[in-house]
Amino acid sequence: MFKNFWHNTNWWFPAHLADLLQKADERITSAYGMDIRQHLIIEYGSSLFSEPGLWQVGFDYLREAGKEGLNHLELLIAEVPLDNETVATKICSLCDEVGFDQTRKDIARTMAYR
């Protein structure tokens, strides 16, 4: 029953349910070699990158998910379409906030060639 539920839902519910469970009892929130809350936040944040216009929200979730979240974020941010200078500037600013210097340089280089 739960298998179908988790498979058919988006990641918002399990990610935020994990927050509640962690507050209730931290012993029940470990899985996948990491805190289950962290895992679900990473999955949810990553899923937001596939939705048009929600990559900034996904960025915020992944930024809060520790080193693993930042690792995922660095891979995903390179896939955000650089549709215009405003998007590129926003991404560069966010890269500065989390220390993705090389990613910021790559984006600036890409935009310079346009």
86 and 112 part of one domain:
yes
Determine the structural domain holding residue 112 and report its residue range: 81-114
**Average pLDDT score over residue span 77-83:** 90
Distances in Å between the Cα of 80 and the Cα atoms of 35, 37, 55, 75 are 27, 25, 7, 10
DSSP letter assigned to residue 26: G
**70 & 88 share domain:** no
- Let me know: does 76 contact 62? Beta carbons within 8 Å: yes
Q: Which two structure tokens, joined as six digits, stand for 100?
A: 């993705």
Whether 82 has a pLDDT exceeding 70, the answer reads yes
Is 41 in the same domain as 59?
yes
Do 6 and 25 lie in one domain? The reply is yes
Q: What is the mean pLDDT of the segment spanning 81-108? A: 94
Structural domain count, the chain: 2
pTM of the model: 0.73
When pLDDT is cut at 50, 70 and 90, the band that residue 26 belongs to is low
Q: 47 and 9, same structural domain?
A: yes
73 and 63 in a common domain: yes
Contacts 24+ apart (CB under 8 A), 49-52: 49/76, 49/79, 49/80
Phi, psi of 25 (to 5 degrees): -165, 110
Which residues lie across from 34 on neighbouring strands? 31
Asked if residue 86 and residue 111 are part of one domain, the reply reads yes
